[in-house]
Amino acid sequence: MHFHQLAELYAELEKTSSGNKMREILSEFFKTVPAEDIAVISYLTLGQLASDNDDVVMGMADKSVLKAIAIAGAVDQSKVSKLMQELGDAGLVAEKVLQKKPQTLIPLEKLTVKELFETLHKMAGSIGTGSQDSKQNLLATMLQKSSPQGAKYITRIALGTLRMGVGDMTVLDALSIAFTGNKESKEILEKAYNICPDVGIIAETLAKHGIKAIEKIDIHVGTPIKMMLAQRVDELHEISDKIPGEFTVEAKYDGERVQAHKNKKGKITLFSRRLENITAQFPDLVEWLGKYFHADEFVLEGEVIAVDKNGHPLPFQTLMQRKRKTEIEEYTKKVPVQLKVFDLLYLNGKSFLHQPYCQRSAQLEKLLKKNEFIVPTEKINTENIDELEDFFHKMLKAGYEGVIVKSRAEDSEYQAGSRGWNWIKWKKEYVTEMVDTFDLVVIGAYHGKGKRSGTYGALLCAAYNEKEDTFETLCKLGTGLTDELLEELPKKLAKHKVERRPARVNVKKEMEPEVWFEPRIVVEVMGAELTNSPIHTCASGLALRFPRFIRFREDKKAEQATTSTEIERMSKK
Ligand code: ATP
């Protein structure tokens, strides 16, 4: 497919602010895409160069992009810099500069989507000395080969600022309509996506082999599985209603969830809760998993925590020092960790997703050689709530944040990507403050006044409506933001700024922010109570009163925020 066709799609998408219309446009377009291009087009439309977990980073400096535009348009660099100051978007600069492209530079051949994609990967793969120059020259060639409109989008893709407002779910919806003629198949696609959350693989499988092949999609070792999450209850005794019979009570550790994959070749890859590849951060975990977990091929899960010399847990903030791209070796020594393993999802060619929890964890422990670095979770099996409570207090004393109660029943399968009742969390905050926090998505901001002028005074925060794939506002957040944080905010949010309301965002006129953001950044917020409110859109009108910022949840994607359904359920209680 020629790239100019894709650029025309983007121009059309850019004009719409309705999520439904967006799906319609996309599905009509997908019908025209050759099967061999559909994966690439899915990634590009999401503004990505590959699936999130593939760790392909363009790493192109703004300066190099502007230089590439100057080369492509055969104009002086100072002119490009001036235009950048005026327009504030390198995409628009490229479009403008290339409108005046001299005749001699008009391309003889047309740019295809495949060629563009391969070149973008070549650019991403270019590292070390001279890499900025080489990226810049490759980009200039792509810009020369495209129309001015195409150049606008190529520039944005290179900078990671395409922001079409399209999310993975939008693509799945559109694929479902395009290839099966109805929206109903979306459930099948979603189920497959939970096990293999790579839109490109799903799109290509569907286009090439149809919906039957999607039903058969299984674990791809090396592609993360969407993680199962825990529900919450208000009263401890409710747990017996939700999980009748015997359950396992495990310590809830305040660390980072890790999903470890080992393929047949022995390669070990680690994924975070956001399904990002975090292997490079934990060379120690990789080594131990190879040494102490006896299986040729596996997918297992655990929580990595920072520990002191005696193996006692250290705060989450200590572990966060391991989130880095440099000085890895130094910090591996400085911040020792331990992996508390609890689940086995795949073993030697066989998926364990549909096995009951007791069998999955028993098999996991059987294969684990005794050592002090990778250890099973502390746990008890019981059906007694008093015993559960005793264990909970014991875990708090040991320095953990609570417990997770897990069903051991026949149907206690691993519910990839969902927050089901097979796991229920009980945390210390529930007992001490009787509140839990909300993880909300920043979708807009209001300019600050007085002391806060020059930064944002408040952020507009939204919950995720997982049924509609939209973001619904719940509160305006201004409290709890320290001076330091306020200073950092404009820079942190700049990358996600968009001109208009993103299509999947649902906001009442009264709450319209002064600045819009693509839903990307998640913040943890504490609030006093949920009340009815006609000015918010969450669950048809709920607001969080007296919201207070607690921290950024870098480990969560927008679609992993607290859902409108959960908030509605909490408000009813
Ligand atoms: P929270 O903000 O309470 O951590 P969350 O939304 O991040 O919640 P939950 O579904 O509430 O996630 O809790 C599950 C998380 O708890 C897991 O993602 C994992 O990181 C962590 N965890 C700690 N100990 C365990 C355990 N024993 N079993 C499963 N998950 C655990």
In a domain? residue 241: yes
Confirm whether 122 is a catalytic residue: no
* Token code pair at residue 55: 């760790």
The CATH number that applies at residue 103 is 1.10.3260.10
Q: Is 306 helix (H, G, I), strand (E, B) or coil?
A: strand
Looking at residue 528, what is its pLDDT? 82
282 and 395 share one domain:
yes
277 and 362 share one domain:
yes
- pTM for the structure as a whole: 0.83
| 74 Cα–ligand 1 center, Å | 54
In a domain? residue 8: no
Looking at residue 106, what is its pLDDT? 53
In a domain? residue 54: yes
In a domain? residue 34: no
Query: Which atom in ligand 1 lies closest to the alpha carbon of residue 257?
Result: 20
Task: Tell me the pLDDT of the chain (573 aa) as tens digits.
Answer: 999 999 999 999 999 888 889 999 999 999 999 999 999 999 999 999 998 888 788 888 889 999 999 999 999 999 999 999 999 899 999 999 998 766 555 554 689 999 999 999 999 998 888 888 999 999 999 999 999 999 999 999 999 889 888 999 999 999 999 999 877 788 899 999 999 999 999 999 999 999 999 999 999 999 999 999 999 888 899 999 999 999 999 999 999 999 999 999 999 999 999 999 999 999 999 999 999 999 999 999 999 999 999 889 999 999 999 999 899 999 999 999 999 999 999 999 999 999 999 999 999 999 999 999 999 999 999 999 999 999 999 999 999 999 999 999 999 999 999 998 999 999 987 766 546 789 999 999 999 887 778 889 999 999 999 999 999 999 999 999 888 888 888 999 998 999 899 999 999 999 999 999 999 999 999 988 899 999 999 999 999 999 999 999 988 999 999 999 999 988 887
The CATH number that applies at residue 240 is 3.30.470.30
Site to probe by mutation for ligand 1, drawn from 415, 425, 466 as the one with most ligand atoms within 8 Å of Cβ, is 425
User: Residue 388's domain spans which residues?
Assistant: 229-431
Give me the sign of the Cα torsion angle 149, 150, 152, 156.
positive
Last residue of a domain, one of 382, 407, 431: 431
In a domain? residue 167: no
280 and 411 share one domain:
yes
Query: Which atom in ligand 1 lies closest to the alpha carbon of residue 524?
Result: 2
Apex 497 CA angle, 492 and 502, nearest 5: 135
In a domain? residue 4: no
Last residue of a domain, one of 127, 159, 191: 159
Distance separating the N- and C-terminal Cα atoms of the chain: 53
For residues 439 and 523, the answer to whether their CB atoms sit within 8 Å is yes
In a domain? residue 190: no
Q: Count structural domains, the chain.
A: 3
* Token code pair at residue 236: 């401890």
With residue 119 as reference, give the H or E element that holds it. Answer: helix 113-125
CA 200 to centroid of chain Cα atoms: 16
131 and 267 share one domain:
no
265 and 373 share one domain:
yes
Apex 95 CA angle, 90 and 100, nearest 5: 130
Looking at residue 130, what is its pLDDT? 84
447 and 411 share one domain:
no
567 and 446 share one domain:
yes
461 and 401 share one domain:
no
Looking at residue 428, what is its pLDDT? 82
Catalytic residue among 101, 186, 252, 557: 252
420 and 443 share one domain:
no
In a domain? residue 80: yes
| 423 Cα–ligand 1 center, Å | 10
Last residue of a domain, one of 105, 131, 159: 159
For residues 228 and 361, the answer to whether their CB atoms sit within 8 Å is no
281 and 413 share one domain:
yes
How far is Cα 527 from Cα 392, in angstroms, rounded to an integer?
25
374 and 237 share one domain:
yes
| 231 Cα–ligand 1 center, Å | 10
Rounded alpha-carbon distances, angstroms, from residue 423 to 31, 243, 345, 413, 510: 40, 9, 16, 10, 39
500 and 525 share one domain:
yes
The CATH number that applies at residue 523 is 2.40.50.140
